[in-house]
Amino acid sequence: MEVTLQNLTKTFPNRDRKKREDVIAVHDFNFKIPDGQLIGLLGPSGCGKSTTLHLISGLLKPTKGNIFFGTEDVTALPPEHRGIGLVFQNYALYPHLTVLQNILFPLQNLKGKDKLTKTQMLEKATAAAKLVQIEGLMARKPRELSGGQQQRVAIARALVKTPKALLLDEPLSNLDARLRLQTREEIRRIQRETGITTIFVTHDQEEAMSISDQIIVMKEGIVQQAGKPQEVYDSPSNLFVAKFLGTPPINVFDGQVKAGRLCLGDDTVLNLEGIPDQPVYVGIRPEGFVCQEDGPLRCKLNGVEVMGRDVSLVFTHKASLAPTVRAIVSAQSQTAMTHCQEAALIRFRLIPQKIFLFHKETEERIYNKEYGL
Amino acid sequence: MTRKNFHRPSSAHADRSGLFRRTMQNRTGSGLKGWLYLLPAMLFLSIFMVYPLMDVFIYSFEEGYNSASQTYFGVGLYNYSYVLHDPYFLQAVRNTFLLVIVTVPLSTVLALLLSTGLNAIRPLRELLQTIYFLPYVTNTLAVGLVFMILFKKTPYSDGLVNLFITCFGGQGVDFIDGPYWAKMFVLCLYTIWVVMPFKILILTSALASVNQKYYQAAKVDGASRLRIFLRITLPMISPMLFYLVITGFIGAFKAYSDVVALFGTNLNAAGMNTMVGYVYDMLYGDSGGYPSYASAAAILLFAIVLTITCINLMASRKNIPS
């Protein structure tokens, strides 16, 4: 089912009573979530992503704007009538009920024509448990399960009444690194199998990029950019998005556009056309650096971290905003770099597609080779 | 369980030193130390709790024990037989049981409803919680006085409640010196009113400590308010509920001062005596001076309370999610 958010706004009264103005948690959110897609709501903590999720679930009422499920306006509908499944960050499994009772709970609440017989309920619960592969744990209490198992139960409970949309609030944050990797694949698989429109909230960009059909990046209640993960990564609309996506993060430099050339400190690194002279922020992805003996970017090498497939170079450049700059080069080019290392000076050529120019004040992107202005 | 915890620090220490003999020494050492720490409490409890309890148990089998001369006629079950055939005692047992059966469930359910209500409202919550807690810090006798004003017939007035009853065309009743049911009604009302604040206090805090996430989850799962209350809230606060029921039973079985506050000290004459009242009367009352009978009655009360508490605990084991 398609979920449409229209001018969605949520404000909370300010805790500090002296300040009159309200705290804006979500500001003018417009987005159409296509049917059957997996959407990642991404942003740093406090950016309003969880609030957005709660607005969709109906646990919070929007201050302004509307929410549509398909063509139906559900803005005024309470959560129990929206037919959504919600998985909480800490799962919120009922501790006094067994796994089976937990999964049955939403079914037992159905009334009127939706009411099911006991066998139907059991069938559905078993099917949901099979989907998340916890059939063997039905008699256990939540506290007898590991974190990953609890999460599966929570997903089964959310899925059992075949919701119109599945909402996941930081679904992986309570799991350890290995389990997180495995579970995100699992979520992807379950979403594919059921075809339920799924929205999940995360602050981990890697998590969002890896499994989402589309990601929405938020900051301070405002949507910064939405789109396919790779597109957003390759073409960030502003400095925040560029900095937020990618590990290791993008390197930001103070730059200057002078007569059609981009200068980082004393180094002239790129020819530009049609950009008026101005100071800019220059973002360069770690993979945008190529070691070259006569490259235009001259840096002081601090260290080399070998990570198997790749080599991570840490160096300094006086135009960089951060104390160190990090580049990822493939291990093959190591030979080119070894002799530079001895001199503690390293020179790079830059890949134009991996360079982004941002306006000094608005921080909006003004240039990228691939995507232009 | 306790033993294990007790020894954990010392055995951890021993693991590091790696000496078996040292381990054994440490174990006995920390055991002794533990007993030493327990000593003050043990001493206090055995002098003021265990010894008197044993003494009462012994007295209850000694016929005609005289505390002044420390003499008695014989040993046997006569005291119990006397007490169990004493109509005053049987009346006291009846009264006490009636009081327990009426007030414990009623006060607990009422307190549950009130605290659920208190928990649901936002404005003035603190103020209302304070008001509901006030009876707890009010003196029993002062409250008894207020109830007298409400219910007692005097040469000058019939009491406030009677005023209302006659106002609506009813027949006035003497609640304090009148028929048994009227007196029992006042006693139950009084008891419920006195025990409610504590229960409300405990239950409001228990309700407040239930994680809101469970309610949100249940709401999303489409549960009605009633179902959320029955399936989520009640099980979550059931440990506190059982605690209140158990202490409520014990408290109601030990009722005495409330009855005195309402009906004065001559409870046998009023037909409103309780089991503790009977024990007191046997010791110090007008018919007093019979420590043997008092002991036998006290042991009977003890046996009843113990049985009921055990039943309660067993029921709670079965129902409380641990």
User: CB distance B219–A80 less than 8 Å?
Assistant: yes
Q: How many residues does chain A have?
A: 373
Find the helix or strand (DSSP H, E) in which B105 lies: helix B87-120
Taking chain B, what is the end-to-end CA distance rounded to the nearest angstrom?
16
| Cβ atoms A367, A373 nearer than 8 A | yes
Does residue B288 register a pLDDT over 50? yes
User: CB distance B222–A110 less than 8 Å?
Assistant: yes
Q: Looking at beta carbons, which residues of chain A come within 8 Å of B217?
A: 86, 88, 92, 94
Q: How many residues does chain B have?
A: 322
Of residues A184 and B41, more confidently modeled: B41
In degrees and rounded to multiples of 5, residue A29 shows phi and psi of: -85, 120
Find the helix or strand (DSSP H, E) in which A229 lies: helix A229-234
User: CB distance B231–A105 less than 8 Å?
Assistant: yes
Of A78, A96, A110, the CB nearest to B236: A96
User: CB distance A88–B227 less than 8 Å?
Assistant: no
User: CB distance B217–A59 less than 8 Å?
Assistant: no
pLDDT of residue B39: 93
Mean of the per-residue pLDDT values of chain B: 83
A 154-173 residues inside an 8 A Cβ radius of B: 157, 161
User: CB distance B321–A95 less than 8 Å?
Assistant: yes
User: CB distance B216–A88 less than 8 Å?
Assistant: yes
Give B213-269 pLDDT, tens digit per residue: 899 999 888 888 899 999 999 999 998 999 999 999 999 999 888 888 888 878 888
pLDDT of residue B178: 79
Question: Per residue, what are the HEC states of A165-187?
Answer: EEEEECCCCCCCHHHHHHHHHHH
Task: Calculate the CA dihedral of residues A195, A199, A202, A207 and round it to 10 degrees.
Answer: 20
pLDDT mean values, one per 10 residues, chain A (373 residues): 88 76 86 90 88 90 90 88 88 90 90 83 90 87 89 90 89 82 87 90 88 91 91 90 89 88 85 83 90 84 79 87 87 58 76 88 80 55
Nearest CA to B191 out of B269, B94, B262, B240 is that of B262
pLDDT band at B15 (very low <50, low <70, confident <90, very high): very low
**Chain B residue with the nearest C-alpha to that of A165:** B220
Strand order in the sheet with A23-33: A23-33, A3-12, A64-69, A72-73
pLDDT band at B12 (very low <50, low <70, confident <90, very high): very low
Of B211, B213, B222, the CB nearest to A80: B222
Helix/strand number for chain B, H first, E second? 16, 2
Whether the link from the prior residue into B155 is cis, omega within 30° of 0, is no
Residue A319: partners with Cβ closer than 8 Å, 6 or more residues away: A253, A254, A255, A264, A265, A267, A282
* DSSP track, B261-276: HHH-S-HHHHT---HH
Distances (CA, A) of B319 to A99, B60, B86, B211, B314: 18, 37, 39, 20, 9
Q: Looking at beta carbons, which residues of chain B come within 8 Å of A96?
A: 235-236, 321
Tokens of A332: 């093959």
Tokens of A225: 């950019």
| Angle between the N-to-C axes of helices A147-159 and A177-194, in degrees from 0 to 180, rounded to the nearest 10 | 20
Residue A34, chain B, CB below 8 Å: the answer is no
**Chain B residue with the nearest C-alpha to that of A59:** B216
